[in-house]
Structure 1
């Protein structure tokens, strides 16, 4: 037992009660105390007792006496107004269609993993916390934020509270970025960060929080957090990773900070400057980090069409998908938010391939047809520009259209089309993006185009392998020659075909393939005619040598002889519709 002397007289206390009163600030440092075990019969000021000095905390006493939540939460109110303003602006600019909401959210800064990975738009880690899907989403978040965040706004200094909000926002979007590929947005992660903050604050300072405020902090808040998390897990459209990230970020930030009243009376100017600088540095890093990394983005991976021997590169986050117009390719998978696509169309045509015709056919089939069907409108197309792709001469076209159905209804798209060929293999590359993002994706498209490679097609590889396995088989060399011709390697094709004839001088297929190869070269057309003659000698009753003979006559300008050759070929194959069409076209030219 010990005794304290107050204005009301002497009061005897046990040790536990004495300690409780010291902690609560009910015993002043100059209060006379008689503690027989320590002071004997003498009275000493309480400050002279080691037990008092170990328990007496003026700052905590000050906190207990003056802590309240009556101050208006100006920072929280400003955050609420900012969210309202962004939402109203988004609704005013939002288009029509089933995917309009998601598209508008992305345009206004929602978290979209492909745009962060492809374009370095790291600023979305911040802006996503200001974007909402609808009024219910917005008002619920802002109601909870004002009430829960307002408590932290009162408890902490402005810069410390901003740090909690920033940690909650970044925790939300960063964990969502790694945990969910879906487009996500909203202040709910910040709300969970504030929930984490009031829980940590209540547990950390539970002994000094005035009793009337304890229901706003600590373990009493945990049931609400559990209920809200459970509601999120039961909903398929909720970004639960973001909620967890916000909860963790807000909790850790709050744990590292002291409330404003525990800093009272201490000079904090230098600390304020440092914290303001740290906050600004974090914000600037998030905003501009992507821009600094943009030359390295995106990371590309390669894919190969083995049949046509073309290798393309596209961002690692892209995957197989199909557009509303039925184009199969790879995209960044922002389907309802306006995806960005790469389409590769390959086909086999008679060599030499007319690139202008190749492009015209693509536009007629893939765009103008859909325009006629009402699926797109306002199709615009630029004149071609000469360029190269994978070392081959190419034509480039720019076009624009507006989609009239599907999730991207009403959205304007730009596309860039490249056509090129080798031998009888035609290639069409189409880069497609919403008009609002096309310019930002152009450097990505240029990197993808620069990494297009023409590789050895499967049929050529198989033909080469067959020659290695059977080096004396003329048919193997015939197949190899035709394979080389398909990829435009005339010299190697001729070498293989002449080897086939050396092994089998009466091989009609080799003469036919050699004739097709040489007739395409004006300087060697006479050699091609000689090969046609040999093929006719060996295959007098087949139409193919006569059709090649007609090709020779047409190249020489002998239209009447060409018609006679086609008539003879049609006698041998009267059901050949292509021959009949060629003959009809030639006859009309002779009239």
Structure 2
């Protein structure tokens, strides 16, 4: 379910346009606000980041715009990588509009909880609440819609969720409200967005060609096995790095 078989960025864009453009937008915004630190970037950051005081004064757009802004390079890279791993299957299953609604809806729930429960001057940015909302949808499938998710994917979701929750409370500087309530928001939205959806199937390999047609790939089985092994190895390495970084930052 989380195995990426696309041969190029172009093919990934054709298959999962919403995930692709969300990642492009948040990377571009980080370049403007963090790396280049342009006057335009400074204006965007001041106008878009979530600040509880300003939101309480009526600047409600910050509840959504803050989802696309990030604090630093590692922040945007981790969230982008998580979206590449866990977004495509849901975009294919839910369709574009439901996926957008689930992603932004979960992020919005997390940011509203931050507003209501966080300090009045609390400032926050990041897509973590929205991404935890995706985890919430997967966990709902594991619990109540087992026909929509295979056992291997269910185990991966469970392990990553447990590690993510541990990191939420171990690491400093994390918006725990967004993580927890983003997850709850995604879980709560699941009965609506998962209505009349089909399971994601990685066993049938298709390739999108330049003319927009879909071509059957006869070597799909061998590619699937190879990609599955590479994915599992890469996933465990990534999780190990996350744990090490989280523990190291806790000691600083």
TM-score band, normalised by shorter chain: 0.5 to 0.7
| More helix by percentage | 2
Q: Deviations over 1:229-260 (max 9, x none)?
A: 11121122110001011101111112223253
Check the 8 A contact 1:193/1:251 in 2, yes or no: yes
Taking a change above 3 Å as real, the CA distance of residues 83 and 184 of structure 1, as seen in their structure-2 partners, is: same
Structure 1: unaligned runs, 5 residues or longer: 1-67, 96-100, 263-591
Deviation at 1:199, TM superposition (A): 1.4
Aligned match of 1:111: 50
Taking a change above 3 Å as real, the CA distance of residues 154 and 259 of structure 1, as seen in their structure-2 partners, is: farther
Q: Hey, what's the Cα distance between the residues in 2 that align with 1:188 and 1:154?
A: 21
Q: Say whether residues 1:126 and 2:64 are aligned partners.
A: yes
State the TM-score, normalized to the length of structure 1. 0.29
Check the 8 A contact 2:139/2:158 in 1, yes or no: yes
Aligned match of 1:93: 37
Aligned match of 1:272: none
Q: Hey, what's the Cα distance between the residues in 2 that align with 1:172 and 1:75?
A: 21
Aligned match of 1:313: none
Deviation at 1:69, TM superposition (A): 8.3
Q: Say whether residues 1:192 and 2:132 are aligned partners.
A: yes
Deviation at 1:209, TM superposition (A): 3.8
Check the 8 A contact 1:151/1:198 in 2, yes or no: no
Taking a change above 3 Å as real, the CA distance of residues 69 and 90 of structure 1, as seen in their structure-2 partners, is: closer
> In structure 1, the residue corresponding to 2:48 is in which secondary structure?
coil
Structure 2: unaligned runs, 5 residues or longer: 6-11, 200-252
- Pair member with larger Rg: 1
Aligned match of 2:107: 169
Q: Deviations over 1:386-416 (max 9, x none)?
A: xxxxxxxxxxxxxxxxxxxxxxxxxxxxxxx
Q: Hey, what's the Cα distance between the residues in 1 that align with 2:45 and 2:108?
A: 17
The correspondence of residues 332-351 of structure 1 with structure 2, limited to 5 A, is none
Aligned match of 2:232: none
Deviation at 1:126, TM superposition (A): 0.3
State the TM-score, normalized to the length of structure 2. 0.66
Taking a change above 3 Å as real, the CA distance of residues 201 and 259 of structure 1, as seen in their structure-2 partners, is: farther
Check the 8 A contact 2:68/2:127 in 1, yes or no: yes
Aligned match of 2:142: 202
Q: Deviations over 1:561-584 (max 9, x none)?
A: xxxxxxxxxxxxxxxxxxxxxxxx
Deviation at 1:167, TM superposition (A): 1.4
The correspondence of residues 127-276 of structure 1 with structure 2, limited to 5 A, is 127-181=65-119, 182-206=122-146, 208-209=147-148, 213-217=150-154, 220-257=156-193, 258-261=195-198
| More strand by percentage | 1
Check the 8 A contact 2:66/2:125 in 1, yes or no: yes
Q: Hey, what's the Cα distance between the residues in 2 that align with 1:82 and 1:139?
A: 13
Deviation at 1:105, TM superposition (A): 7.5
Check the 8 A contact 2:141/2:148 in 1, yes or no: no
Deviation at 1:261, TM superposition (A): 3.0
Deviation at 1:138, TM superposition (A): 0.4
Deviation at 1:78, TM superposition (A): 1.2
Q: Deviations over 1:476-533 (max 9, x none)?
A: xxxxxxxxxxxxxxxxxxxxxxxxxxxxxxxxxxxxxxxxxxxxxxxxxxxxxxxxxx
Q: Deviations over 1:9-52 (max 9, x none)?
A: xxxxxxxxxxxxxxxxxxxxxxxxxxxxxxxxxxxxxxxxxxxx
Check the 8 A contact 1:189/1:246 in 2, yes or no: yes
Check the 8 A contact 1:196/1:250 in 2, yes or no: yes
Q: Deviations over 1:186-238 (max 9, x none)?
A: 011111111111111233321x347xx43224x64122112111112112211
- Number of residue pairs aligned between Structure 1 and Structure 2: 184
Deviation at 1:94, TM superposition (A): 5.2
Aligned match of 1:401: none
Check the 8 A contact 2:33/2:45 in 1, yes or no: no
Deviation at 1:79, TM superposition (A): 0.9
> In structure 2, the residue corresponding to 1:121 is in which secondary structure?
coil
Q: Deviations over 1:285-336 (max 9, x none)?
A: xxxxxxxxxxxxxxxxxxxxxxxxxxxxxxxxxxxxxxxxxxxxxxxxxxxx
Q: Hey, what's the Cα distance between the residues in 2 that align with 1:69 and 1:138?
A: 20
